[in-house]
Amino acid sequence: MKIAFIGGGNMGEAVLSAILNKGLSTKQAIFVSDISEARRQHLEQEYCVSVASDNRLVAERGDVVILAVKPQNLAEVMAELNGQLKLAQLVLSIIAGAKIDTLCRGLNHSSVVRAMPNTPGQIGEGISVWTATAEVTEPQKGWAASILGVMGKEVYVADEKYIDMATAVSGSGPAYVFLFIESLVDAAVDIGLPRDMAQELVLQTLLGSGRFLQKSGRESAELRRMVTSPGGTTAEALLQFEKGGFKDLVLQAVTAAYEKAKRLGG
């Protein structure tokens, strides 16, 4: 499978790295365009792939064309590629907020997959939610699933509305987790723990809790109740979260991200 990347930013590089690490394609069959000479040099040196500044030149070489540019650059890129893609080519967009209708009209191309991966995909621990136009063939869906699958789990949805929702939850979600880790580490240091010990305690607690939840087959609320003894330390801490409106704050944050994702798509 020949894969052309239009845009070599962080998320595009994460996909590229995962594809090569899992052997889904070869460095000889991957082509990348980017407006930044520094990014092109980095990708060429790091992955030994072909790079260019010409989007059209790169796009014509891929069976799959992965759009990984910044949302603000999409209109310009679509104008360059409009009418240039072959019918047999699949476009896979990982651009936040870019709707399928916008992509199809802007590119004058109907075989389009829209996906929302997340940053843990860089180490094969991500999750991607994706959908496809009716014109995308079953073999092409297989290509998309394989590309997204090398970054972790992939979930296909028939309705595009779920992509913006996933953007607000799993797409932006790693930043929420990192913020919580940062806050918990800072709190641990504030009560007297050395920072390196606090970092290790917090990180392993987060990792272990997630795996425990995943393997237990139980709801998170049930496990929370299991570890919360009446009148104990956990109960006291959770009471403070409740007083601070923790759940409402999470809802507000996710809703704000969702609304922003919808506005990005026009």
Note the pLDDT of residue 29.
Answer: 96
- What DSSP designation does 114 have? E
Note the pLDDT of residue 59.
Answer: 96
- What phi, psi does 113 have (nearest 5°)? -115, 135
Contacts within 8 Å (CB) and 24+ apart, 55-60: 55/6, 55/80, 55/81, 56/80, 56/81, 56/84, 57/33, 58/4, 58/5, 58/6, 58/31, 58/32, 58/33, 59/4, 59/6, 59/33, 59/84, 59/85, 59/89, 60/4, 60/84, 60/86
Note the pLDDT of residue 263.
Answer: 86
Helix (H) or strand (E) holding 183: helix 173-190
Question: Which residues are paired to 6 by β-bridges?
Answer: 33, 67
Note the pLDDT of residue 219.
Answer: 96
Strands 64-67 and 90-93: parallel
Note the pLDDT of residue 19.
Answer: 93
Note the pLDDT of residue 33.
Answer: 95
Strands of the sheet with 90-93, listed across from one edge: 50-52, 30-33, 3-6, 64-67, 90-93, 112-116, 126-132, 152-156
Strands 50-52 and 90-93: unpaired
Domains located in the chain, CATH noted? 3-159 (3.40.50.720), 173-264 (1.10.3730.10)
Note the pLDDT of residue 266.
Answer: 63
- What DSSP designation does 227 have? T
Task: Kindly give the confidence (pLDDT) of every residue in the chain, 266 residues in length, as a single tens digit, with 9 standing for 90 and above.
Answer: 899 999 978 889 989 999 999 999 999 999 999 999 999 999 999 999 999 999 999 999 999 999 999 888 999 999 999 999 999 999 999 998 899 999 999 999 999 999 999 989 888 899 999 999 999 999 999 999 999 999 999 999 999 999 999 999 999 999 999 999 999 999 999 999 999 999 999 999 999 999 999 999 999 999 999 999 999 999 999 999 999 999 999 999 999 999 998 888 76
**How far apart are the C-alpha atoms of 252 and 164, rounded to whole Å?**
16
What is the longest distance spanned by two Cα atoms in the chain?
67
